[in-house]
Amino acid sequence: MKKILDVLIVGGGPIGLACGIACEKANINYVIVEKGVLTNSLFNYPLNMTFFSTSDKLEMGGIPFMSISHKPTRTEALEYYRRVFQQWKLKVNLYEEVKTLQKNVDGIFEINTSKQTYLAHNIILATGFYDLPNLMNVPGEELPKVSHYYKEPWPYIGQKVLVVGGANSAVDVALEIWRKGGHVTMALKGDGIDANVKYWVKPDIENRIKEGSIKAYTNCLVKEIREKEVVLDTPTGEVTIPNDFVFAMTGYVPNFALLDQLGVELSLDEKRQPCYDPSNQESNIPGVYLAGVVCGGLNTREFFIENSIIHAEQIVNHILGKSLADSSD
């Protein structure tokens, strides 16, 4: 008969790893299934990114996070979480995507991945939000020159680049490309740069805009993207500008498909926040837990690594509590 895991964790991001550590500490039998590389989202972040958190805030499992500066880089974070994985001997199956999940009549979950089937008493969904971009849904968005992910500035030297969005990612992209000699225009939906852009970066971008080094259109929406130009909808009418590349840094949305399959309800407001008890992270489906950034629904800024690590202990304590209650029945 197939072994039944106590817990199957979907997602090998920082929070999935924290859940694995909590299971190790509690001697609970678990597996983490990750569709990509270890900490796949971090791996896909811009090559030169620096975290806004100080390294101590990203620590887990009692392993100190040393970084050269007080805020770590992407590479330092990748190395840190690799060390965490190695030190705790976490059971992570990489390059394996969870495709379907269901609760069988006997109350056991059946999880089908790209490689095998698992059975588990509990599921933790720690699937993050970085896989699906928040699309603009405008003509031309599918052109190869348009991207929702950014790596590095070198391909854009001397190129006309439109950066859509005014939050942290957009600002970092605009400044980095401009500093390497790209001609950057920003399309800002609101009146200016977002209020919660990192306080040490905001004056930099605002001054570049003020001095005219970076052109910014405010209260502006992208209307159409063409091979060699983009059409912007601005308060003074339609503006067409020459263009080589577009970075649509318009955010990302969690993949609700896995939640839907399990019957996890979402709030009816614009946040579409999954239904769960914040004291133990259990969703409206008993045995299905939510951890990490996925908990915020479309409000992807509500949870981040720093404030989600705590989910791991909350969930495992609840699972342990249930087992004790069962054994005393």
Ligand X SMILES: Cc1cc2nc3c(=O)[nH]c(=O)nc-3n(C[C@H](O)[C@H](O)[C@H](O)COP(=O)(O)OP(=O)(O)OC[C@H]3O[C@@H](n4cnc5c(N)ncnc54)[C@H](O)[C@@H]3O)c2cc1C
Residue 312: which region, alpha, beta or left (left: phi > 0; alpha: psi -120 to 50)? alpha
Site stretch for ligand X (CB under 6 A), options 85-93, 185-193, 227-235, 298-306: 298-306
Site residue total, ligand X (CB under 6 A):
34
Instruction: Give the count of beta carbons closer than 10 Å to the beta carbon of residue 180.
Output: 15
> 118 or 217: whose CB is closer to ligand X?
118
Does 123 sit near ligand X (CB under 6 A)? Answer: no
End-to-end CA, the chain: 25
Q: Which stretch binds ligand X (CB under 6 A): 135-143, 198-206, 265-273, 303-311?
A: 303-311
Contact 283, 274 (CB under 8 A): yes
Q: CB 243 → ligand X: shortest distance, Å?
A: 24
Sole binder of ligand X in the list 9, 10, 136, 209 (CB under 6 A): 10
- Positions 18 through 57 that interact with ligand X (CB under 6 A): 33-36, 40-41, 45, 49, 51-53
Nearer to ligand X, 43 or 206 (CB): 43
Contact residues for 245 (Cβ-Cβ < 8 A; gap 6+)? 145, 146, 147, 155, 156, 159, 160, 161, 162
- Phi-psi map region of 281: left, alpha, beta (phi>0 left; psi -120 to 50 alpha): left
Binding mask 150-189 for ligand X (x = CB under 6 A): -------------------x--------------------
Kindly tell me which of 99 and 318 has the beta carbon lying closer to ligand X. 99
Instruction: Report yes or no: 51 and 78 within 8 Å, Cβ to Cβ.
Output: no
- Least distance to ligand X from the beta carbon of 27, Å? 23
- Distance from CA of residue 170 to its chain's centroid? 15
Give residues 98-117 in contact with ligand X (rule: CB under 6 A).
98
Scanning the structure block, which residue is given the tokens 């971009």?
133
Q: How many CB atoms lie within 10 A of CB 152?
A: 12
Q: Which of 182, 292, 296, 297 binds ligand X (CB under 6 A)?
A: 292
| Burial class for 236, CB neighbours closer than 10 Å (0-12, 13-18, 19+) | exposed
Q: How far is the CB of 99 from ligand X (least distance, A)?
A: 7
Question: Does residue number 290 form part of the binding site for ligand X (CB under 6 A)?
Answer: no
- Class of residue 32 by CB neighbours under 10 A (exposed 0-12, middle 13-18, buried 19+): buried
Residue in this structure with the two tokens 């489906």, named with its chain if needed: 285
Contacts of 254 by beta carbon, 8 Å cutoff, 6+ apart: 127, 128, 129, 132, 293, 294, 296, 297, 298, 300
Asked whether 254 and 294 are in contact (CB, 8 A), the reply is yes
306 near ligand X (CB under 6 A): yes
Q: Is residue 126 a contact point for ligand X (CB under 6 A)? A: yes
Q: Smallest gap, in angstroms, from Cβ of residue 126 to ligand X?
A: 5
CB-CB neighbours of 70 under 10 Å? 9
- According to the binding rule CB under 6 A, does residue 281 interact with ligand X? no
Nearest distance, CB of residue 226 and ligand X, angstroms: 29
Of the candidate spans 62-70, 124-132, 199-207, 269-277, the one that interacts with ligand X by CB under 6 A turns out to be: 124-132
Does residue 15 belong to the site contacting ligand X (CB under 6 A)?
A: yes
Which residues in the 239-258 window bind ligand X by CB under 6 A?
255, 258
Part in contact with ligand X (CB under 6 A); list of ranges 11-19, 21-29, 193-201, 211-219: 11-19
Binding site for ligand X (CB under 6 A): 10-16, 33-36, 40-41, 45, 49, 51-53, 97-98, 126-128, 130-131, 169, 255, 258, 292-293, 304-306, 308
